[in-house]
Amino acid sequence: MQSGPREIVTPFRSIPLEVPEGMKPNEFFNSAENLADLAHNNGLLKNPEGLLLYRKALGHSNLFDASIIYNTSQSILDPLGRPVRRTQVPENVKNVWNRMNQIVIDYMLERYPDPAQHLVLAGEASLDATWPLTSPGVPSIRMLHNHFMVFSKADLRDAPIADPHNPNLTDGGQHSLFQEYMREVYRDFISALDMKNLKPCPEGTCRIGLTGYPQGLPSWDITGGAASLKELRFWKDYDIILKGFIDFYRTFFSQVSTRNAPMPRDIYFPELVEEKLLFNNDFLMTAKMVRDRCIKDAKYANAIRWQPAFKQLIYRNDEGRLIVTISQNSIGNAITELLGVVVDRKPDAEAYARAEPELIRQLLEVRERLVEADLGEGIATPHWHAK
């Protein structure tokens, strides 16, 4: 069986939303009006912390697909002022968020126990506030949300090989700026982070055999497996990875922006940044290369994401181990593409209707477990009851 990224087709039912005249779709999707519609038609559970579990109407997979969004649309009307990463979330909200994550992931692993048959993943992407709202491919909801999904490996095996030059696949590895020019600096910095429940994977050992992905990314084995997700220490380690990534990203692009810039404010690991980044010739030479090009190439400079943009996920590898990885983000790509899965969504109401009953049954089962754990209350929609 040839290994390579796969392109699968996922049918969906068109959303009956009318975008007001004079607005672009991604401007409307960030509005309080649209988020109210999302909860009304697809909401499953909500809680006082502002976390909303919902069905993905435009999903990646019709086998299992759900999201939790930190719905600040009613309390923060400025889309650019909303939290877009876990480090911006209040601790009491993050505690509930982590418990919800643990329960949903546990359900997926229980429902789909065989790693040879199903690819299970959960993760989130920052919706970088430096992206103009009108840019094509900008995420449609500018609020922190994560994804839970399952893919059939039989479907992936039968799917055609995706174009390896698809630009949405390149941010995950060998073509990215960090990997191409600062590979050793990046790995040395990330590997110096002190974690208890996560062990670095030897390069290439955690890939999905069917796709050959992730490529070139630092990855960590969750040493205690699914049981670790019930421990607060794991989620602290998960945040440490993100904080280390943010420190690296911010430090690098501050040097790109301004030669010999001081260390950015509010750095999480200042001693590591000073020792392993600000005194590293390869790191600073790469910053100079990017800075020089920005000065001469307007199109290149416009594509720079000056603030931290990332995708971080937990997935089950072929051996059944749970793995954490993180990548810089780019406009247009999906979190599934870190694992080499390109999703082509096609409007097909009949095909979606065939998959919908089983999908909804599972989502309501997950909701019941969350309600029992005092993590929210059910939402009634035209498609299901509140209980």
Bridge-based pairing of strands 322-328 and 219-222 is antiparallel
The per-residue pLDDT for range 317-372, each reduced to its tens digit, is: 999 999 999 988 765 567 898 899 999 999 999 999 999 999 999 999 999 999 99
The per-residue pLDDT for range 135-168, each reduced to its tens digit, is: 555 555 677 889 999 999 999 999 999 987 777 7
| pLDDT surpassing 70 at residue 229 | yes
> Which among 181, 179, 142, 198 is positioned nearest to 324, based on CA atoms?
198
User: Residue 128's pLDDT band (boundaries 50, 70, 90)?
Assistant: low
Residue 166 is predicted with a pLDDT of 78
User: Residue 216's pLDDT band (boundaries 50, 70, 90)?
Assistant: confident
Are 352 and 63 in contact, with CB atoms under 8 Å apart? Answer: no
Residue 173 is predicted with a pLDDT of 45
Residue 172 is predicted with a pLDDT of 44
Backbone phi, psi, residue 72, to 5°: -100, 15
Buried b (16+ CB within 10 A) or exposed e, 216-227: bbbbbbbebebe
Query: How many CB atoms within 10 Å of residue 334?
Result: 16
Residues whose CB falls within 8 Å of the CB of residue 82, separated by 6 or more in sequence, listed in order = 72, 73, 76, 142, 143, 144
User: Residue 283's pLDDT band (boundaries 50, 70, 90)?
Assistant: very high
> Which among 290, 218, 223, 281 is positioned nearest to 253, based on CA atoms?
290
Q: Give the Cα-Cα-Cα angle 355, 158, 165 (nearest 5 degrees).
A: 110
Residue 174 is predicted with a pLDDT of 42
The per-residue pLDDT for range 258-272, each reduced to its tens digit, is: 999 999 999 999 999
The per-residue pLDDT for range 8-67, each reduced to its tens digit, is: 999 998 877 778 888 777 667 767 777 777 888 899 999 999 999 999 888 899 999 999
3-state per-residue secondary structure call for the chain: CCCCCEEEEEEECCCCCCCCCCCCHHHHCCCHHHHHHHHHHHEEEECCCCEEEEECCCCCCCCEEEEEEECCCCCCCCHHHCCCCHHHCCHHHHHHHHHHHHHHHHHHHHHCCCCCCEEEEEEEECCCCCCCCCCCCCCCCCCCEEEEEEEEHHHHHHCCECCCCCHHHHHHCCCCHHHHHCHHHHHHHHHCCCCCCEEECCCCCCCECCCCECCCCCEEEECCHHHHHHCHHHHHHHHHHHHHHHHHHHHHHHHHHCCCCCCCCCCCCHHHHHHHCCCCHHHHHHHHHHHHHHHHCHHHHHCCCCCCCEEEEEEECCCCCEEEEEEECCCCCCHHHHHCEEEEEEECHHHHHHHHHHHHHHHHHHHHHHHHCCCCEECCECCECCC
